[in-house]
Amino acid sequence: MNDVLNTAKEKMEKTMKVLASDFAAIRAGRANPAVLDRITVDYYGTQTPIQQMAAVSVSDARVLIIQPWDKSALKSIEKAIQASDLGINPQNDGSVIRLTFPQLTEERRKELSKDIKKLGEEAKVAVRAIRRDANEKIKAMKKNNELTEDDVKLFDKDIQKLTDKYVENIDGSVSAKEKEIMTV
């Protein structure tokens, strides 16, 4: 029974990590290297993440500098950024690429807020699915006479507490990210 609970907890923790990485990739009006995490560049026939082929740094609050180790990759990186859904036009000066993040408009803030809520809701659905899977495993164990009715009821309370805790954490993460979006 504890194995099922621990497995559910590990999966819920992974869900929180995925949510955090999704939130990091949201362009919030300030320079954050995490927005480049999902962009890959065709580098000598291989899809390569930008962080593996260039130094990425923040020069000021709204400017990201990408300095490739191989200068011949500048054009490829620039094309990959333009083709992505980042929505920022890169400026290539021959040695580095600069990404200047514009101030967020009210319309863009509302759009980002909707995206954040959607990601939060998806994370809650994932946590609830983990709870359902754990409950099904416990019911199967009861059916095989491995557990008593009291054990099942105790487990139901424990898994519900765990689920409630992670749903609360997700809500907290969503509201913190929304606050960040609104104050940038």
**What number of other Cβ atoms are within 10 A of residue 136's Cβ?**
11
State the pLDDT at residue 167.
95
Least confident of 17-31, 92-106, 127-141, 155-169: 17-31
> Domain residue spans in the chain?
2-24+105-183, 33-100
Confidence (pLDDT) at 64: 87
pLDDT, residue 184, reads 64
Q: How far apart are the first and last CA of the chain?
A: 46
CATH class in words for 2-24+105-183:
mainly alpha
Identify the pLDDT of residue 25: 73
Check residue 125 and give its pLDDT.
Answer: 95
Q: Which residue has the higher pLDDT, 145 or 11?
A: 11
> Can you give the pLDDT at residue 122?
94
**Residue 71: CA atoms inside 13 Å, Cβ hemisphere, count?**
4
Burial 68-101 (b: 16+ CB within 10 A, else e): beeeebbebbbebbeebebebebeeeeebbebeb
Q: Taken in order 88, 93, 94, 98, is the CA torsion positive or negative? A: negative
Structure token digits, residue 64: 């990201």
Does the pLDDT value for residue 95 go beyond 70? yes
Q: Which CATH number fits domain 33-100: 3.40.50.12780, 3.30.1360.40, 3.40.640.10, 1.20.58.1690?
A: 3.30.1360.40
pLDDT at 73 over 80: yes
Please indicate, yes or no, whether the overall pTM of this predicted structure exceeds 0.95.
Answer: no
pLDDT of residue 27: 65
Predicted local confidence at residue 150, as pLDDT: 87
pLDDT digits (tens, 9 = 90+) for 115-169: 899 999 999 999 999 999 999 998 888 888 888 888 888 998 999 999 999 999 9
Residue 179 CB-density burial (10 A; 0-12 exposed, 13-18 middle, 19+ buried): exposed
Give tens-digit pLDDT for 54-67: 898 888 878 889 99
* pLDDT band at residue 83 under the 50/70/90 scheme: confident
- Is pLDDT of 29 > 70? no
